[in-house]
Amino acid sequence: SFLSWMPREDVIKYMHESDCFVMPSYNETFGIVYVEAMASGCYTIGSRGEGIDGIITDGHNGALVESGSVSSLTEALEHYFRLTPEELLPILERAIDETQSEMDAALELLDFACSKKAPDIYNF
């Protein structure tokens, strides 16, 4: 079934229960919800040129559609519905693995940044 806007606390719960996540945005700078969907094992469809195309590689770990194109979105959904389990599983595994790697790298960078002390500019 298709879901609309929902409170933040419900999003992850529904992602774990879902097979596919589609957000064909045409005005999105990044959209962390894409990464959350990929990490949850959802086949994720996003828009080219809207920030997520640096994370989703079309056909490799999800799908990308042309922003604002109904026909492009229709083709991506039709492709998803034609995927066999043998074709779909590696895509979902790559999405999970790659988002986990990205998150690990981001946490490592954050930990490094937080471990550094700011220069003592107030030492008179």
CA distance 23 to 77: 12
* pTM of the predicted model as reported, rounded to 2 decimal places: 0.79
Domain 8-115, second-level architecture: 3-Layer(aba) Sandwich (3.40)
Angle at 89 between CA 100 and CA 44, to 5 degrees: 60
CA distance 70 to 41: 25
Burial of residue 3 (number of CB atoms within 10 Å: 0-12, 13-18, 19+): exposed
Residue 66: what residue type? E
- Summarize pLDDT for 67-114 with one digit per residue, the tens: 989 999 999 999 999 999 999 999 999 999 999 887 777 778 777 777
- Summarize pLDDT for 54-72 with one digit per residue, the tens: 899 999 999 999 998 999 9
Give the H/E segment covering residue 105. helix 85-115
